[in-house]
Chains A and B, each alone.
Chain A
Amino acid sequence: MRSFLILLKNELKLNIRNMNMVIFAVIMPLIVLVILGLLNGSKPAAYGAEYTFMEQSIGALCAISICAGGLMGLPLAVSEYRERKILKRFKVTPVSPVKLLAVEFTIYIIYCIVSLITLILTAMIFWKVTIYGSMLVFLGSWLLTMISTLSIGMMVGGVAKNSKSASVIACLLYFPMLIFSGTTLPFEMMPEPMQKIIITFPMTQGIQLMKATFLGLPLDNIWLPIIVMGAVTVLCTGIAVKYFKWE
């Protein structure tokens, strides 16, 4: 445990020094929030809707940092460490691969938490956003989305041949999910035929779940996203640990 915390402290410092994740996982979601806020203010989400457009968007905005950390930051960090032979150096120490992966995993959880807090506080202070559902249930859906997305990233980073292939896979996952699953562009603004395709993305499932729990909407099919995301987490984490490569 002590070594986990020391590794976490130092690796987090290095990660912040690098600035990429600070920009993509913390500052960028905040900028999108501010733009949406300036455009929409406290307008209702639709004519006659009980909640505002901003309230409807919170879930999606929280997913931007999850996407950036899980599908870009984490896989690239792990594969870069392998390519630079930093993992090889760790291989001749008593550290276990699980501990190393857990340290990297936790770093991105921290980014997601910081992003969640800054987004919700900013939205509450400037655009009077309130949560209609239960905070606990919303946090539960956020946690599930985050863990499942990070586990996808961990698998990609853990098994990719080199940082080039990790970066290709990361881009293939990151950009479609970022653009189409409703993180930056609201899902509701997409044309209907497109919505039908996008709904199959795991990230879309998470965003829809976060949105519903934030707004306190009735969940008629709550088990589907939970089962999908839970299965993704178990499968990807298992593969990442089992097929972990030091070199």
Chain B
Amino acid sequence: MEEAIKVEQLSKSYGNLLAVDNVSLSVKRGTVYGLLGANGAGKSTTIECILGTKRADKGLVSVLGYNPIKERRKLFQKVGVQFQECDYQPEIKVSELCEEVSCLYKNPADWRELCTQFGIGDKIKYAVKSLSGGERQRLFIVLALIPNPELVFLDELTTGLDAKARRSVWKILSILKEKGLTIFLTSHFMDEVEVLCDEICILKNGKIAFNGTVEQAKAATGCEKFEDAYLMLSGEEVEE
């Protein structure tokens, strides 16, 4: 199967701190890939190096066959991104933000329909800053899907959402996956990872601690629950 993302021996340091240390991974098209790890394990830096918003010190990155820095404009016609810390113009309304994003793409999705799907269809006329945390989070997932992407990056996609909203996001993402969308996500919720991800990669201090499926993670650690396996592998195990 063709690869959507290929990363080889990626390293990036900030001063003396080695944030990402020799990470290699590959994501197959049409799958959901979860990048996991504690805060500060290097997830965001890895994503930023893959997207080209940060320059790696070392290593090769190819996304949909493109070099994300040199072929930025071609690549991002096909890729949607939701950053962990998104900001928006002060005073901007939901409709204006969606329109601005939508106009940048050749074949954008209907953003009104996406807003309705994600349960913020009635908020279109509101200022983005007046939305609740959960509504804003859903808006940023909508923005990532507006390009009609082949690949979407979702950084902590359901942080701040209530249980019901999380379930509905999962459902929509599963439908999109069936249609062939490749999803690269980070999450702190292991139930979510278990439901959505075909393959996971656990980072620990910038290095890959585990790479495989959820079942393999459970088997490797002998844990029955995936969350226990994750805690063991990521070195976050609670000391008793």
Interface residues of A (CB under 8 A from B): 2-3, 6-7, 10-11, 13-14, 17-18, 81, 84-86, 88-89, 91-96, 246-247
Contact = CB atoms under 8 A, between A and B. Distances in A.
A2 B100 CA distance: 11
28 contacts: A2-B103, A3-B104, A6-B103, A7-B100, A10-B92, A13-B96, A14-B89, A17-B91, A18-B90, A84-B87, A84-B89, A85-B87, A86-B87, A88-B53, A88-B83, A89-B83, A89-B86, A89-B88, A92-B76, A92-B83, A93-B76, A93-B101, A93-B104, A94-B74, A94-B76, A94-B104, A95-B73, A96-B73
Interface in B81-113: 81, 83, 85-92, 96, 99-101, 103-105
Contacts, number: 66
B79 interface: yes
Nearest to A90: B104
B51 interface: yes
Contact of B51 (A3, A18, A92, A95): A92
Contacts of A18: 90-91
Contacts of B73: 94-96
Interface of B: 51-53, 72-74, 76-77, 79, 81, 83, 85-92, 96, 99-101, 103-105, 147
A81 B85 CA distance: 14
A94 B72 CA distance: 7
B96 A94 contact: no
A6 B104 CA distance: 9
Contacts of A13: 96
B24 to A, nearest CB: 23
Contact of A10 (B72, B77, B100, B105): B100
Contact of B53 (A10, A95, A246): A246
Nearest to A17: B91
Given A86-B88, A89-B81, A93-B147, 15 more contacts: A3-B104, A10-B92, A10-B100, A11-B100, A13-B96, A14-B89, A14-B91, A84-B87, A85-B83, A85-B85, A88-B53, A93-B76, A94-B74, A94-B76, A96-B73
Nearest to A83: B87
A18 to B, nearest CB: 7
Contacts of A88: 53, 83
B101 A247 contact: no
A120 B28 CA distance: 64
Nearest to B79: A92
Nearest to B105: A94
Which of B51, B76, B85, B100 has the largest number of chain A CB atoms within 10 A?
Answer: B100
Given A3-B103, A92-B53, A93-B76, A14 B96 contact: yes
A94 B53 contact: no
Given A93-B76, A94-B73, A96-B73, A10 B99 contact: yes
A192 B88 CA distance: 50
A67 B83 CA distance: 36
A219 to B, nearest CB: 43
A18 B83 CA distance: 26
B194 to A, nearest CB: 28
A29 B93 CA distance: 30
B103 A89 contact: no
B105 A89 contact: no
Report, nearest first, the 3 A-B pairs whose CB atoms are least far apart.
Answer: A6-B103, A3-B103, A92-B81
